[in-house]
Protein backbone atom coordinates (compact mmCIF):
# COMPACT_ATOMS: atom_id res chain seq x y z
CA UNK A 1 0.00 0.00 0.00
CA UNK A 2 1.18 3.51 -0.78
CA UNK A 3 1.66 6.15 1.89
CA UNK A 4 -1.55 7.94 2.90
CA UNK A 5 -2.33 11.05 0.85
CA UNK A 6 -1.32 14.29 2.59
CA UNK A 7 -4.15 16.81 3.03
CA UNK A 8 -4.24 19.44 0.29
CA UNK A 9 -2.31 22.67 0.78
CA UNK A 10 -4.29 25.88 1.22
CA UNK A 11 -1.37 28.03 0.02
CA UNK A 12 1.94 27.43 -1.69
CA UNK A 13 4.30 30.38 -2.06
CA UNK A 14 7.74 30.70 -3.62
CA UNK A 15 9.96 33.69 -2.97
CA UNK A 16 11.53 35.61 -0.09
CA UNK A 17 10.47 35.24 3.54
CA UNK A 18 11.75 37.61 6.22
CA UNK A 19 11.34 36.72 9.89
CA UNK A 20 13.02 36.70 13.30
CA UNK A 21 13.98 33.86 15.61
CA UNK A 22 15.19 33.72 19.19
CA UNK A 23 18.79 33.56 17.95
CA UNK A 24 18.54 36.06 15.08
CA UNK A 25 16.63 39.37 14.94
CA UNK A 26 16.13 39.00 11.19
CA UNK A 27 16.65 36.18 8.71
CA UNK A 28 16.12 36.84 5.00
CA UNK A 29 15.26 33.55 3.29
CA UNK A 30 15.44 34.08 -0.46
CA UNK A 31 14.43 31.40 -2.93
CA UNK A 32 12.27 29.42 -0.51
CA UNK A 33 9.02 27.48 -0.74
CA UNK A 34 6.41 27.80 2.00
CA UNK A 35 3.37 25.58 2.31
CA UNK A 36 0.28 26.25 4.42
CA UNK A 37 -2.09 23.44 5.33
CA UNK A 38 -5.86 23.79 5.25
CA UNK A 39 -5.80 24.31 9.04
CA UNK A 40 -3.82 27.53 8.50
CA UNK A 41 -0.55 26.11 9.83
CA UNK A 42 2.81 26.22 8.08
CA UNK A 43 3.74 22.70 7.01
CA UNK A 44 7.09 23.42 5.37
CA UNK A 45 9.56 26.20 4.67
CA UNK A 46 12.37 24.85 2.51
CA UNK A 47 14.81 26.01 -0.12
CA UNK A 48 13.25 26.03 -3.57
CA UNK A 49 15.69 23.37 -4.81
CA UNK A 50 13.69 20.91 -2.65
CA UNK A 51 10.62 21.46 -4.84
CA UNK A 52 10.63 18.04 -6.47
CA UNK A 53 10.82 16.14 -3.17
CA UNK A 54 8.20 18.41 -1.58
CA UNK A 55 5.87 17.97 -4.56
CA UNK A 56 6.06 14.18 -4.17
CA UNK A 57 5.42 14.36 -0.44
CA UNK A 58 2.60 16.91 -0.61
CA UNK A 59 1.13 16.08 -4.00
CA UNK A 60 1.30 19.50 -5.65
CA UNK A 61 2.13 20.54 -9.21
CA UNK A 62 4.42 23.37 -10.28
CA UNK A 63 1.32 25.23 -11.50
CA UNK A 64 -0.01 25.27 -7.89
CA UNK A 65 2.88 27.48 -6.79
CA UNK A 66 2.33 31.20 -6.46
CA UNK A 67 5.63 32.86 -7.21
CA UNK A 68 6.38 36.27 -5.74
CA UNK A 69 8.07 38.99 -7.79
CA UNK A 70 11.77 39.33 -7.05
CA UNK A 71 11.23 42.49 -4.95
CA UNK A 72 8.23 41.20 -2.97
CA UNK A 73 8.50 39.41 0.36
CA UNK A 74 6.44 37.92 3.14
CA UNK A 75 6.99 38.98 6.74
CA UNK A 76 5.09 37.88 9.87
CA UNK A 77 2.02 39.85 10.84
CA UNK A 78 2.77 42.54 13.41
CA UNK A 79 1.61 42.31 17.02
CA UNK A 80 0.29 45.45 18.72
CA UNK A 81 0.66 44.67 22.42
CA UNK A 82 -1.18 47.80 23.63
CA UNK A 83 -3.97 49.77 21.91
CA UNK A 84 -7.11 51.55 23.18
CA UNK A 85 -9.85 50.84 20.61
CA UNK A 86 -12.26 53.58 21.85
CA UNK A 87 -9.58 56.25 21.64
CA UNK A 88 -9.23 55.67 17.89
CA UNK A 89 -12.08 58.20 17.56
CA UNK A 90 -9.62 61.01 18.37
CA UNK A 91 -6.32 59.49 17.20
CA UNK A 92 -4.12 62.12 15.60
CA UNK A 93 -5.46 64.92 17.81
CA UNK A 94 -5.23 66.09 21.43
CA UNK A 95 -1.72 65.09 22.43
CA UNK A 96 -1.00 68.42 24.09
CA UNK A 97 -1.30 67.52 27.78
CA UNK A 98 0.61 65.28 30.20
CA UNK A 99 -0.94 61.90 31.03
CA UNK A 100 -3.24 62.57 34.00
CA UNK A 101 -4.65 65.82 32.57
CA UNK A 102 -4.94 64.16 29.17
CA UNK A 103 -7.05 61.34 30.65
CA UNK A 104 -9.38 63.72 32.49
CA UNK A 105 -9.72 66.28 29.68
CA UNK A 106 -9.99 64.10 26.58
CA UNK A 107 -10.00 60.38 27.22
CA UNK A 108 -12.55 59.75 29.95
CA UNK A 109 -15.15 62.11 28.38
CA UNK A 110 -14.71 60.22 25.07
CA UNK A 111 -14.88 56.74 26.60
CA UNK A 112 -18.15 57.59 28.40
CA UNK A 113 -19.81 57.71 24.96
CA UNK A 114 -19.37 53.96 24.46
CA UNK A 115 -22.52 53.25 26.43
CA UNK A 116 -24.06 53.96 23.00
CA UNK A 117 -23.58 50.76 20.99
CA UNK A 118 -24.16 52.48 17.65
CA UNK A 119 -21.32 54.92 18.34
CA UNK A 120 -19.14 52.02 19.53
CA UNK A 121 -19.88 49.96 16.42
CA UNK A 122 -18.74 52.69 14.05
CA UNK A 123 -15.44 53.39 15.84
CA UNK A 124 -14.65 49.74 16.58
CA UNK A 125 -15.32 48.71 12.97
CA UNK A 126 -12.98 51.42 11.75
CA UNK A 127 -10.16 50.66 14.19
CA UNK A 128 -10.17 46.94 13.34
CA UNK A 129 -10.21 47.65 9.59
CA UNK A 130 -7.46 50.25 9.91
CA UNK A 131 -5.13 48.16 12.06
CA UNK A 132 -5.54 45.12 9.77
CA UNK A 133 -4.77 47.30 6.72
CA UNK A 134 -1.71 48.56 8.60
CA UNK A 135 -0.48 44.97 9.07
CA UNK A 136 -1.55 44.33 12.67
CA UNK A 137 -2.65 40.71 12.64
CA UNK A 138 -2.78 40.50 16.46
CA UNK A 139 -3.84 43.27 18.84
CA UNK A 140 -4.23 43.56 22.60
CA UNK A 141 -7.15 45.95 23.05
CA UNK A 142 -8.44 48.02 25.92
CA UNK A 143 -12.16 48.69 25.43
CA UNK A 144 -14.19 50.73 27.99
CA UNK A 145 -16.11 49.98 31.20
CA UNK A 146 -19.17 49.06 29.12
CA UNK A 147 -19.67 45.29 28.87
CA UNK A 148 -22.02 45.36 25.87
CA UNK A 149 -19.71 47.55 23.78
CA UNK A 150 -16.68 45.46 24.80
CA UNK A 151 -18.44 42.30 23.61
CA UNK A 152 -19.34 44.12 20.40
CA UNK A 153 -15.64 44.90 19.84
CA UNK A 154 -14.83 41.19 20.17
CA UNK A 155 -17.58 40.34 17.67
CA UNK A 156 -16.26 42.85 15.13
CA UNK A 157 -12.69 41.57 15.52
CA UNK A 158 -13.89 38.01 14.92
CA UNK A 159 -15.89 39.08 11.86
CA UNK A 160 -12.82 40.70 10.27
CA UNK A 161 -10.59 37.77 11.19
CA UNK A 162 -8.06 39.57 13.37
CA UNK A 163 -6.42 37.78 16.30
CA UNK A 164 -6.88 39.65 19.57
CA UNK A 165 -7.23 39.99 23.30
CA UNK A 166 -10.07 42.26 24.43
CA UNK A 167 -10.37 43.79 27.88
CA UNK A 168 -13.42 45.37 29.48
CA UNK A 169 -11.84 48.21 31.48
CA UNK A 170 -12.24 48.21 35.28
CA UNK A 171 -12.14 51.40 37.32
CA UNK A 172 -13.93 52.31 40.55
CA UNK A 173 -12.20 55.68 41.16
CA UNK A 174 -12.74 58.76 39.00
CA UNK A 175 -13.21 62.05 40.81
CA UNK A 176 -12.89 64.32 37.76
CA UNK A 177 -15.31 62.44 35.45
CA UNK A 178 -17.46 60.60 38.04
CA UNK A 179 -19.92 59.25 35.46
CA UNK A 180 -17.06 57.16 34.07
CA UNK A 181 -16.51 54.58 36.80
CA UNK A 182 -18.31 51.62 38.38
CA UNK A 183 -18.94 50.53 41.95
CA UNK A 184 -16.29 47.98 42.98
CA UNK A 185 -18.66 44.99 43.12
CA UNK A 186 -20.25 45.88 39.80
CA UNK A 187 -16.86 46.22 38.11
CA UNK A 188 -15.93 42.71 39.19
CA UNK A 189 -19.36 41.28 38.38
CA UNK A 190 -19.34 42.83 34.90
CA UNK A 191 -15.80 41.55 34.28
CA UNK A 192 -16.98 38.05 35.18
CA UNK A 193 -19.96 38.44 32.83
CA UNK A 194 -17.76 39.80 30.04
CA UNK A 195 -15.31 36.89 30.31
CA UNK A 196 -18.08 34.29 30.54
CA UNK A 197 -20.05 35.65 27.58
CA UNK A 198 -16.96 36.13 25.42
CA UNK A 199 -15.76 32.57 26.06
CA UNK A 200 -19.27 31.24 25.29
CA UNK A 201 -19.03 32.82 21.82
CA UNK A 202 -16.18 30.39 21.09
CA UNK A 203 -14.41 32.82 18.78
CA UNK A 204 -11.35 31.00 17.49
CA UNK A 205 -8.83 33.79 17.95
CA UNK A 206 -10.38 36.39 20.27
CA UNK A 207 -9.70 35.99 23.99
CA UNK A 208 -10.68 37.98 27.09
CA UNK A 209 -8.08 39.76 29.20
CA UNK A 210 -8.58 41.14 32.72
CA UNK A 211 -8.08 44.91 32.52
CA UNK A 212 -7.74 47.14 35.58
CA UNK A 213 -7.07 50.52 33.97
CA UNK A 214 -4.14 51.47 36.24
CA UNK A 215 -3.34 51.98 39.90
CA UNK A 216 -4.84 55.49 40.29
CA UNK A 217 -8.27 54.45 38.94
CA UNK A 218 -8.68 51.32 41.10
CA UNK A 219 -9.13 50.66 44.81
CA UNK A 220 -6.96 48.06 46.45
CA UNK A 221 -10.08 45.91 46.86
CA UNK A 222 -10.82 45.98 43.13
CA UNK A 223 -7.21 45.18 42.19
CA UNK A 224 -7.11 42.26 44.63
CA UNK A 225 -10.39 40.79 43.47
CA UNK A 226 -9.41 41.09 39.82
CA UNK A 227 -6.10 39.39 40.64
CA UNK A 228 -7.95 36.55 42.36
CA UNK A 229 -10.33 36.22 39.41
CA UNK A 230 -7.54 36.18 36.81
CA UNK A 231 -5.63 33.58 38.80
CA UNK A 232 -8.68 31.35 39.42
CA UNK A 233 -9.55 31.30 35.70
CA UNK A 234 -5.97 31.41 34.34
CA UNK A 235 -6.70 34.54 32.28
CA UNK A 236 -4.32 37.12 30.86
CA UNK A 237 -3.99 40.53 32.54
CA UNK A 238 -3.19 43.95 31.09
CA UNK A 239 -2.73 47.38 32.66
CA UNK A 240 -0.38 50.38 32.73
CA UNK A 241 2.66 50.97 34.91
CA UNK A 242 5.16 53.78 35.56
CA UNK A 243 4.21 55.78 32.50
CA UNK A 244 4.94 59.23 33.89
CA UNK A 245 6.20 60.88 37.08
CA UNK A 246 2.84 62.34 38.12
CA UNK A 247 1.20 58.91 37.94
CA UNK A 248 3.97 57.30 40.02
CA UNK A 249 3.69 59.99 42.72
CA UNK A 250 -0.09 59.51 42.82
CA UNK A 251 0.32 55.76 43.29
CA UNK A 252 2.77 56.39 46.16
CA UNK A 253 0.20 58.66 47.85
CA UNK A 254 -2.73 56.29 47.30
CA UNK A 255 -0.95 53.07 48.24
CA UNK A 256 1.64 53.97 50.91
CA UNK A 257 1.87 50.40 52.24
CA UNK A 258 3.49 49.11 49.04
CA UNK A 259 7.18 49.28 48.21
CA UNK A 260 6.57 50.57 44.69
CA UNK A 261 4.14 50.44 41.75
CA UNK A 262 5.23 46.92 40.73
CA UNK A 263 4.81 45.69 44.31
CA UNK A 264 1.19 46.93 44.23
CA UNK A 265 0.39 44.77 41.20
CA UNK A 266 2.42 41.85 42.52
CA UNK A 267 0.76 41.76 45.94
CA UNK A 268 -2.68 41.90 44.31
CA UNK A 269 -1.79 38.88 42.10
CA UNK A 270 -1.88 40.89 38.90
CA UNK A 271 1.81 40.43 38.02
CA UNK A 272 1.98 36.99 36.42
CA UNK A 273 3.47 35.18 33.43
CA UNK A 274 0.25 36.16 31.59
CA UNK A 275 0.55 39.88 32.36
CA UNK A 276 1.42 42.66 29.92
CA UNK A 277 2.03 46.11 31.39
CA UNK A 278 2.18 49.13 29.10
CA UNK A 279 5.02 51.66 29.28
CA UNK A 280 7.26 50.99 32.32
CA UNK A 281 9.35 54.05 31.43
CA UNK A 282 10.44 54.68 35.01
CA UNK A 283 10.72 51.16 36.45
CA UNK A 284 13.70 50.61 38.76
CA UNK A 285 16.11 47.71 38.32
CA UNK A 286 14.53 46.15 41.43
CA UNK A 287 11.13 46.28 39.74
CA UNK A 288 12.48 44.86 36.48
CA UNK A 289 13.94 41.93 38.45
CA UNK A 290 10.46 41.23 39.82
CA UNK A 291 8.99 41.43 36.31
CA UNK A 292 11.55 38.85 35.18
CA UNK A 293 10.92 36.63 38.19
CA UNK A 294 7.16 36.61 37.56
CA UNK A 295 7.51 36.25 33.78
CA UNK A 296 5.51 39.46 33.25
CA UNK A 297 5.90 41.47 30.03
CA UNK A 298 6.18 45.11 28.98
CA UNK A 299 4.55 46.83 25.99
CA UNK A 300 6.90 49.57 24.77
CA UNK A 301 4.81 52.46 23.37
CA UNK A 302 7.32 55.08 22.21
CA UNK A 303 4.98 57.27 20.15
CA UNK A 304 2.76 57.85 23.18
CA UNK A 305 5.74 58.30 25.50
CA UNK A 306 7.09 61.08 23.27
CA UNK A 307 3.70 62.63 22.42
CA UNK A 308 2.57 62.99 26.05
CA UNK A 309 6.16 63.69 27.23
CA UNK A 310 5.90 60.76 29.63
CA UNK A 311 9.42 59.34 29.51
CA UNK A 312 11.66 57.00 27.52
CA UNK A 313 11.79 53.28 28.15
CA UNK A 314 15.36 51.97 28.24
CA UNK A 315 14.80 48.93 26.03
CA UNK A 316 18.38 47.71 26.42
CA UNK A 317 18.00 47.65 30.19
CA UNK A 318 14.66 45.82 30.00
CA UNK A 319 16.17 43.15 27.74
CA UNK A 320 19.26 42.92 29.98
CA UNK A 321 16.89 42.00 32.83
CA UNK A 322 15.41 39.24 30.65
CA UNK A 323 11.92 40.77 30.62
CA UNK A 324 9.62 39.92 27.70
CA UNK A 325 9.17 42.99 25.52
CA UNK A 326 6.96 43.94 22.58
CA UNK A 327 5.81 47.15 20.88
CA UNK A 328 2.48 48.94 21.13
CA UNK A 329 0.85 51.86 19.34
CA UNK A 330 -1.04 53.01 22.46
CA UNK A 331 -3.67 54.76 20.35
CA UNK A 332 -4.55 57.56 21.04
CA UNK A 333 -1.77 58.71 23.38
CA UNK A 334 0.21 57.43 20.43
CA UNK A 335 -1.24 59.23 17.44
CA UNK A 336 -0.51 56.48 14.89
CA UNK A 337 -2.27 53.13 14.63
CA UNK A 338 0.58 51.68 12.57
CA UNK A 339 3.08 49.25 14.05
CA UNK A 340 5.57 50.50 11.45
CA UNK A 341 5.41 53.80 13.32
CA UNK A 342 6.05 51.92 16.58
CA UNK A 343 9.18 50.38 15.02
CA UNK A 344 10.42 53.82 13.92
CA UNK A 345 9.65 55.50 17.25
CA UNK A 346 11.43 52.71 19.12
CA UNK A 347 14.52 53.51 17.07
CA UNK A 348 14.16 57.23 17.94
CA UNK A 349 13.76 56.42 21.64
CA UNK A 350 16.87 54.25 21.56
CA UNK A 351 18.82 56.94 19.69
CA UNK A 352 17.74 59.55 22.25
CA UNK A 353 19.24 57.46 25.05
CA UNK A 354 22.43 57.11 22.98
CA UNK A 355 22.64 60.86 22.38
CA UNK A 356 22.22 61.51 26.11
CA UNK A 357 24.90 58.90 26.88
CA UNK A 358 22.52 56.77 28.93
CA UNK A 359 23.46 53.72 26.84
CA UNK A 360 26.60 52.77 24.93
CA UNK A 361 24.73 50.81 22.28
CA UNK A 362 21.35 51.30 20.66
CA UNK A 363 18.61 49.16 19.24
CA UNK A 364 19.12 48.02 15.64
CA UNK A 365 16.31 48.15 13.08
CA UNK A 366 16.43 44.36 12.90
CA UNK A 367 15.92 44.15 16.67
CA UNK A 368 12.96 46.55 16.43
CA UNK A 369 11.52 44.31 13.69
CA UNK A 370 11.80 41.33 16.04
CA UNK A 371 10.06 43.26 18.84
CA UNK A 372 7.14 44.05 16.50
CA UNK A 373 6.68 40.42 15.47
CA UNK A 374 8.18 37.60 17.55
CA UNK A 375 8.63 39.83 20.62
CA UNK A 376 4.95 40.74 20.61
CA UNK A 377 3.95 37.08 20.34
CA UNK A 378 6.12 36.29 23.37
CA UNK A 379 4.54 39.14 25.36
CA UNK A 380 1.06 37.73 24.72
CA UNK A 381 2.02 34.10 25.29
CA UNK A 382 1.37 33.24 21.64
CA UNK A 383 4.94 32.50 20.51
CA UNK A 384 4.12 28.81 20.08
CA UNK A 385 1.35 29.83 17.64
CA UNK A 386 2.59 32.94 15.77
CA UNK A 387 5.51 35.37 15.53
CA UNK A 388 7.56 33.85 12.71
CA UNK A 389 7.43 31.26 9.93
CA UNK A 390 8.45 28.19 11.92
CA UNK A 391 6.79 24.95 10.80
CA UNK A 392 3.74 24.21 12.93
CA UNK A 393 2.85 27.85 13.59
CA UNK A 394 -0.19 29.52 12.10
CA UNK A 395 0.43 31.59 8.98
CA UNK A 396 -0.06 35.19 10.13
CA UNK A 397 1.67 37.10 7.37
CA UNK A 398 1.96 40.26 5.32
CA UNK A 399 2.75 40.28 1.61
CA UNK A 400 4.93 43.34 1.08
CA UNK A 401 5.17 44.96 -2.33
CA UNK A 402 7.89 47.66 -2.29
CA UNK A 403 7.00 48.55 -5.89
CA UNK A 404 3.28 49.12 -5.33
CA UNK A 405 1.98 51.64 -7.87
CA UNK A 406 1.50 54.35 -5.22
CA UNK A 407 4.40 53.30 -2.99
CA UNK A 408 5.68 56.16 -0.79
CA UNK A 409 9.32 55.29 -1.54
CA UNK A 410 11.52 54.44 -4.52
CA UNK A 411 13.81 51.53 -5.30
CA UNK A 412 17.01 51.78 -7.33
CA UNK A 413 18.99 49.26 -9.34
CA UNK A 414 21.77 49.11 -6.75
CA UNK A 415 19.46 48.34 -3.81
CA UNK A 416 20.21 45.06 -2.06
CA UNK A 417 17.34 43.05 -0.62
CA UNK A 418 18.32 44.26 2.82
CA UNK A 419 18.07 47.85 1.51
CA UNK A 420 14.56 47.10 0.25
CA UNK A 421 13.48 45.72 3.65
CA UNK A 422 14.94 48.74 5.46
CA UNK A 423 13.21 51.14 3.10
CA UNK A 424 9.89 49.45 3.77
CA UNK A 425 10.38 49.49 7.56
CA UNK A 426 11.39 53.16 7.58
CA UNK A 427 9.32 54.56 4.70
CA UNK A 428 6.58 52.09 3.83
CA UNK A 429 2.90 52.11 4.80
CA UNK A 430 -0.34 50.26 4.10
CA UNK A 431 0.02 50.94 0.37
CA UNK A 432 2.90 48.44 0.36
CA UNK A 433 0.94 45.78 2.28
CA UNK A 434 -0.82 44.01 -0.58
CA UNK A 435 -2.29 41.13 1.40
CA UNK A 436 -2.75 40.22 5.05
CA UNK A 437 -3.24 36.66 6.32
CA UNK A 438 -4.36 35.43 9.74
CA UNK A 439 -4.08 31.68 10.35
CA UNK A 440 -3.80 31.10 6.62
CA UNK A 441 -6.95 33.05 5.77
CA UNK A 442 -6.59 36.15 3.62
CA UNK A 443 -8.25 39.00 5.54
CA UNK A 444 -6.95 41.96 3.49
CA UNK A 445 -8.09 42.95 0.88
CA UNK A 446 -11.38 42.80 2.76
CA UNK A 447 -14.06 40.43 1.50
CA UNK A 448 -17.42 41.83 0.45
CA UNK A 449 -19.03 40.14 3.49
CA UNK A 450 -17.35 42.63 5.86
72-82, pLDDT tens digit by residue? 999 999 999 99
pLDDT in tens, 98-153: 999 999 999 999 999 999 999 999 999 999 999 999 999 999 999 999 999 999 99
Determine how β-strand 206-212 pairs with β-strand 169-170: parallel
50: alpha, beta or left, given left = phi > 0 and alpha = psi -120 to 50? alpha
Q: Count of residues for the chain?
A: 450
Over residues 153-182, the pLDDT tens digits come to 999 999 999 999 999 999 999 999 999 999
- In whole angstroms, how far apart are CA 92 and each of 329, 331, 337, 345, 385? 12, 9, 9, 15, 33
Across 242-285, where does the E strand assignment appear? 275-279
- Please enumerate in sequence order all residues whose Cβ is within 8 A of that of 116, keeping only pairs 6 or more positions apart, or say none: none
| Residue 346 confidence (pLDDT) above 50 | yes
| Cα atoms in the 13 Å half-sphere on the side-chain side of 79 | 31
Q: pLDDT-based confidence at 1, cuts 50/70/90?
A: very low
pLDDT at 29 > cutoff 80? yes
User: 397-400 and 433-438: which strand pairing?
Assistant: antiparallel
Question: In this predicted structure, what is the pLDDT of residue 8?
Answer: 84
Asked whether the predicted pLDDT for residue 3 surpasses 70, the reply is no
Mean pLDDT of all residues in 407-436: 98
Over pLDDT 70: what percentage of the chain? Answer: 99
Share in percent of the chain as helix, strand, coil (round to 5): 40, 20, 35
Residue 394 DSSP code: B
Q: How far apart are CA 337 and CA 385, in angstroms?
A: 24
Q: Bridge-partner residues for 35, per DSSP?
A: 12, 44
Alpha carbons within 13 angstroms on the beta-carbon side of residue 129 total 10
Q: What is the pLDDT of residue 450?
A: 77
Stretch 242-268: mean pLDDT:
98
Distances (CA, A) of 140 to 11, 431, 433, 436: 28, 24, 21, 18
Return left, alpha or beta for 391; rule: phi > 0 is left, psi -120 to 50 is alpha, else beta: beta
Residue 2 pLDDT level (bands cut at 50, 70, 90): very low
Write out 166-180 in H/E/C secondary structure. Answer: EECEECCCCCCCCCC
Contact 68, 16 (CB under 8 A): yes
Q: DSSP per residue over 30-91, as a string? A: EEEEEEEETTSBEEEEEEGGGHHHHHHHHT--GGGPEEPPTT-EEEEPEEEEEEEGGGGGGT
pTM: 0.98
Express each pLDDT in 48-59 by its tens digit.
999 999 999 999
The confidence band for 7, taking pLDDT boundaries of 50, 70 and 90, is: confident
Predicted local distance difference test score (pLDDT) of residue 5: 60
Q: Mean pLDDT across the chain, nearest whole number?
A: 97
More confident residue, 448 or 387: 387
DSSP-assigned states of every residue in 145-156: S-HHHHHHHHHH
Amino acid sequence: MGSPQKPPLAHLFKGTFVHASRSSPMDVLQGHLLGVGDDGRIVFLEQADQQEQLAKKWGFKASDIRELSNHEFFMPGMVDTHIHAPQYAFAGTRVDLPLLEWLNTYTFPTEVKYKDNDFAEEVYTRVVRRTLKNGTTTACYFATIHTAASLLLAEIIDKFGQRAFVGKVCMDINEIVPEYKEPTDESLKETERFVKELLEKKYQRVQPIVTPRFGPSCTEKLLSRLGDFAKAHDIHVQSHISENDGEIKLVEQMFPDYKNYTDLYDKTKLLTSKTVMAHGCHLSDEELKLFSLRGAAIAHCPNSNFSLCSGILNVQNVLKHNVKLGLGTDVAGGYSSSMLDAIRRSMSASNTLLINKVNNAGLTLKEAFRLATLGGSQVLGLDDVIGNFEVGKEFDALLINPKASDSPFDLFAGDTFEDIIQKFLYLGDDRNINEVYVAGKQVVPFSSSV
